[in-house]
């Protein structure tokens, strides 16, 4: 497990070092808080979460009567971990058979890769998985999902040029008939006209519920950790349209600034079931607020 944490730390290093410089002085004064505010905003933390963290930090400094700037960094880690804690939640399957998981995300976010990783993760837990290729618009998307299905040796429901909602309906029905534990529905990230994307996704959601009145049991959004405040905008838009139950935040091994998770925790505290820390099948980790806060500030 150590390797991925190092990759996460390496990915977040730039943020970590710019925040660290804030605490190299000898005094805890307004200048320190101003510098910290700037560093947090630069790290994609957003205005609201930044204000929240600063207030919480000042309270902690007062309470502990801290006078050493270096110790303030530790208090910031505590404040950040507390803010992020509501995002900590495990994806539970098995309450319904099959558990239907709809996965959304804009193209390039890492959706297909994350579905491949998630399939492996679920298979490791002993679950049988059926994949549904509901992105019927892009042949490449279907093919790529097929590659992940082969790598994981799981079945896939796919139909060239078919109706995405119909493919999803068929997959849920097939999942039940074949006794699968999980049906993972991969949806389109972009349509010829962007305006129709949300309508299409809402239709898939409705039709999945027609196939199984309790489904979808999970609606996940995959976001690219590098896209900062834009990722927050995506969370808002997809949550408004689909009532998200969880997030997967990818590419945190890259050059992500990481603060966007604090912004999400402040404004839309939707559980982060997993984080992506590499391109390989096993590079999927569960989210831990304390670990993440420490990685961000290390």
The site for ligand GDP (CB under 6 A) is made up of 105, 107-113, 189, 250-251, 253-254, 276-279, 283
Strand partners of residue 293: none
48 is in an annotated binding site: no
The token duo for 27 is 């005094």
Rounded Cα distance, 94 and 220, in Å: 17
* Helix/strand/coil for 236: helix
Shortest distance in whole angstroms from residue 197 CB to ligand GDP: 13
User: Which is nearer to ligand GDP, 61 or 101 (by Cβ)?
Assistant: 101
Q: Specify the residue, 32 or 221, whose C-beta has the smaller distance to ligand GDP.
A: 221
User: For ligand GDP, which is the closer residue by CB, 211 or 248?
Assistant: 248
Nearest to 186 by CA among 146, 233, 244: 146
CB of 251 to ligand GDP, least distance (A): 4
Is 272 labelled a binding residue? Answer: no
- What interhelical angle do 197-211 and 229-242 show, nearest 10? 40
* Residue 1 burial (CB count, 10 A): 6
User: Minimum distance between the CB of residue 123 and ligand GDP, rounded to whole angstroms?
Assistant: 18
The response to whether 189 counts as a known ligand-binding position is yes
Tell me whether residue 252 is annotated as binding.
Answer: yes
What's the half-sphere exposure (Cβ side, CA atoms, 13 Å) at 188? 26
The reply to whether 106 sits in an annotated binding site is yes
* Closest CB to ligand GDP: residue number: 276
DSSP 22: G
The answer to whether 180 is annotated as binding is no
Q: Toward ligand GDP, which CB reaches closer, 105 or 216?
A: 105
Nearer to ligand GDP, 136 or 250 (CB): 250
Nearest to 201 by CA among 144, 244, 159: 244
Dig out the tokens for 200 from the structure: 């299409």
| Residue numbers belonging to the annotated binding site | 105-112, 186-190, 250-253
| Residue numbers belonging to the annotated binding site for GTP | 105-112, 186-190, 250-253
């Amino acid at each position: 497990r150590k390797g991925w944490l190092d990759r996460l730390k390496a990915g977040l290093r730039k943020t970590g070092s710019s925040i660290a410089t804030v605490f190299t002085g000898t005094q805890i004064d307004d200048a320190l808080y101003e510098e910290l505010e700037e560093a947090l905003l630069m790290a994609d933390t957003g205005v609201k979460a930044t204000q929240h963290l600063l207030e919480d930090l000042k309270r902690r400094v007062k309470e502990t009567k801290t006078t050493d700037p270096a110790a303030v960094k530790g208090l910031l880690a505590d404040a950040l971990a507390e803010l992020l804690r509501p995002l900590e939640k495990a994806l539970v399957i098995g309450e319904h058979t099959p558990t239907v998981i709809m996965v959304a995300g804009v193209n390039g976010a890492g959706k297909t890769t994350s579905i491949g990783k998630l399939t492996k993760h679920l298979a490791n837990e002993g679950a049988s998985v059926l994949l549904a290729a509901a992105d019927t618009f892009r042949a490449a998307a279907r093919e790529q999902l097929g590659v992940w299905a082969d790598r994981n040796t799981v079945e896939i429901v796919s139909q060239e040029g078919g109706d995405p909602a119909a493919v999803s309906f068929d997959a849920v029905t097939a999942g039940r008939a074949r006794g699968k534990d999980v049906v993972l529905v991969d949806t389109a990230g972009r349509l010829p006209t962007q305006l129709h994307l949300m309508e299409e996704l809402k239709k898939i959601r409705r039709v999945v519920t027609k196939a199984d009145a309790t489904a979808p049991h999970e609606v996940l959004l995959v976001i690219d950790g590098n896209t900062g405040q834009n990722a927050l905008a995506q969370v808002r838009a997809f949550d408004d349209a689909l009532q998200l139950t969880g997030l997967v935040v990818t590419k945190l091994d890259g050059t992500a600034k990481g603060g966007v998770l604090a912004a999400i925790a402040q404004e839309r505290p939707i559980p982060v079931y997993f984080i992506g820390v590499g391109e390989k099948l096993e590079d999927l980790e569960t989210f831990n607020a304390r670990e993440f806060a420490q990685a961000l500030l290390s």
